[in-house]
Amino acid sequence: MIPIADAEKILKNIEVKPLKEEVPLTDSLARVLAEDILSTINMPPFDKSAMDGYAYKSGDHSPRFQVVETIAAGDIPKREIKQGQCARIMTGAMLPKGTDRVVKREVVSEEAGIMNIIEEEKVLNVCYKGEDVKIGDRVLKKGTPIRPQEVAILASMGLDNVPVYQEPKVGILTTGSEIVEPGQQLKEGQIFNSNAYSLASQARQMGTSVQYGGIAADNKEGIRESISALFDQNQVVIISGGVSMGDFDFVPGILKDLGVKLYFEKVAVKPGKPTVFGTLKNKFFFGLPGNPVSTFVIFELFVKPFLYRMAGTGFKPRFCRGVMTRDFKRKKTGRTAFIPVFQEDGEVTPIEYHGSAHIYALSGANALMEVPAGMAEVKKGSFVNVRSI
């Protein structure tokens, strides 16, 4: 059994090489930039008016201004503005030569082609060429996850195709002779498969699609075939169940038979002790204990950061700090525990939780409280860090 930190270190040291591809701008959301984006344009590309108003020259204190031109957004101004003159100008339009400021419509009057400034403003109401971005500036960094705001920036740079990392190919397999799919009739001794769907959803929530390999009953041949099928088509294979000490927990043995090098088979974490990780030919295998809370928690702790790295970006779990609203106690302290909690407005409340099979507890939870190995209790009123889920 190894500590969580050692398992994390092992996973971090595994070399992954995300490949690049190009996708249309409209498909780039939730992908990760595979290159720095350098601007090929100035933004704004010209001095432009920030207001609907009148463009004139600073220091021109003429009592009134002759309006010599109207400039709409997209127009190229035709005239140079002289002393005592101005141009009627719209927001986003190019400033004419001879001007460097705009007085907004609200504070002037215009009659018969003559503009009077009623109230001189301090602000210049001009966005200057290149003031946001200059040619050659790095506007986005390689490894940046693309959110709607990054889509806007990419579009503003004129990119219709975006260099992104390929999504990791992930296969999911469920094991267990007692497991049946939702929608089927439950017979005596059987339970519904929830792990395949929670795992797939956790992956999808981070923008990774998955191939589902179905349920393999607890026999060596069947599990071996299902793993091999997923192995052929995916870079990461996640297997639920069959990794603990039971007579029919075949997964670690099968992985070894297939030539997978196992880096760990037990981690000092509760839930999730019999977690398995191994590699074979640039492919990666996670064996997750079948109890639904274990599967969920181990994905959050180990699989998610690894998949993010494969997707070309870093991952930092979101931690919140809060005050315990009640005591938390436990008897066995040999492993670091993750306890479902609800945190809000700086307060942390442990949820009623019966153990790793109690998936219902997770619905009331929005975070996991980490209780380090050796720690038996967390007192009401003490500060704790919790990890958002």
Question: Residue 349 is encoded by which pair of tokens?
Answer: 């409340």
Task: Specify the residue, 151 or 361, whose C-beta has the smaller distance to ligand AMP.
Answer: 361
Residue 340's binding partner out of ligand AMP, Mg ion, none, with CB under 5 to 8 Å set by partner kind: none
Contacts of 377 (CB under 8 A, 6+ apart): 327, 328, 329, 330
Residue 289's binding partner out of ligand AMP, Mg ion, none, with CB under 5 to 8 Å set by partner kind: ligand AMP
Q: How far apart are CA 120 and CA 88, in angstroms?
A: 16
Residue 38's binding partner out of Mg ion, ligand AMP, none, with CB under 5 to 8 Å set by partner kind: none
Smallest CA-to-CA distance from 284 within 247, 251, 321, 235 is with 235
Task: Specify the residue, 291 or 313, whose C-beta has the smaller distance to Mg ion.
Answer: 291
Task: Specify the residue, 150 or 218, whose C-beta has the smaller distance to Mg ion.
Answer: 218
- Find the part of the chain contacting Mg ion (CB under 5 A) among 19-27, 122-130, 232-240, 241-249: 241-249
Q: Are 315 and 338 in contact (CB under 8 A)?
A: no
Find the shortest distance in angstroms from Cβ 258 to Mg ion.
19
Task: Specify the residue, 194 or 333, whose C-beta has the smaller distance to ligand AMP.
Answer: 194
Which DSSP letter does residue 227 get? H
Task: Specify the residue, 254 or 378, whose C-beta has the smaller distance to Mg ion.
Answer: 254
Find the shortest distance in angstroms from Cβ 290 to Mg ion.
5
Nearest residue to ligand AMP, by Cβ distance, number only: 290
Q: Is 140 helix (H, G, I), strand (E, B) or coil?
A: strand
Find the shortest distance in angstroms from Cβ 273 to Mg ion.
15
Find the shortest distance in angstroms from Cβ 35 to ligand AMP.
40
Cα distance between the two ends of the chain? 26
Residue 121's binding partner out of ligand AMP, Mg ion, none, with CB under 5 to 8 Å set by partner kind: none
Q: Which residues of the chain form contacts with ligand AMP (CB under 6 A)?
A: 174, 176, 178-179, 191, 193-196, 240-244, 246, 249, 289-292
Find the shortest distance in angstroms from Cβ 278 to ligand AMP.
17
Residue 343's binding partner out of ligand AMP, Mg ion, none, with CB under 5 to 8 Å set by partner kind: none
- Answer yes or no whether residue 289 interacts with Mg ion by CB under 5 A: no
Q: How far apart are CA 246 and CA 237, in angstroms?
A: 22
Find the shortest distance in angstroms from Cβ 166 to ligand AMP.
28
- Answer yes or no whether residue 77 interacts with Mg ion by CB under 5 A: no
Q: Are 217 and 176 in contact (CB under 8 A)?
A: yes
- Answer yes or no whether residue 145 interacts with Mg ion by CB under 5 A: no
Residue 150's binding partner out of ligand AMP, Mg ion, none, with CB under 5 to 8 Å set by partner kind: none
Q: 346 burial class (0-12, 13-18, 19+ CB within 10 angstroms)?
A: exposed
Q: How far apart are CA 24 and CA 373, in angstroms?
A: 48
Find the shortest distance in angstroms from Cβ 199 to ligand AMP.
9
Task: Specify the residue, 177 or 349, whose C-beta has the smaller distance to ligand AMP.
Answer: 177
Which DSSP letter does residue 113 get? T
Instruction: Give me the residues paired with residue 225 across strands.
Output: none
- Answer yes or no whether residue 322 interacts with Mg ion by CB under 5 A: no
CA 146 from centroid of its chain's CA atoms: 8
Could you write out the DSSP letters of every residue in 49-109?
ESSSEEEE-TT---SSEEEEEEE-TTPPP-SPPPTTEEEEE-TTPBPPTT--EEEEGGGEE
Question: Residue 253 is encoded by which pair of tokens?
Answer: 């043995």
* Of 44, 96, 176, 213, the one binding Mg ion by CB under 5 A: 176
- Answer yes or no whether residue 241 interacts with Mg ion by CB under 5 A: yes
Q: How far apart are CA 367 and CA 376, in angstroms?
A: 20
Task: Specify the residue, 44 or 292, whose C-beta has the smaller distance to ligand AMP.
Answer: 292
Task: Specify the residue, 157 or 215, whose C-beta has the smaller distance to ligand AMP.
Answer: 215
Task: Specify the residue, 133 or 196, whose C-beta has the smaller distance to ligand AMP.
Answer: 196
Smallest CA-to-CA distance from 236 within 269, 202, 267 is with 202
Antiparallel, parallel or unpaired: β 367-371 and 383-388 = antiparallel
Binding-site ranges for Mg ion (CB under 5 A): 176, 241-242, 290
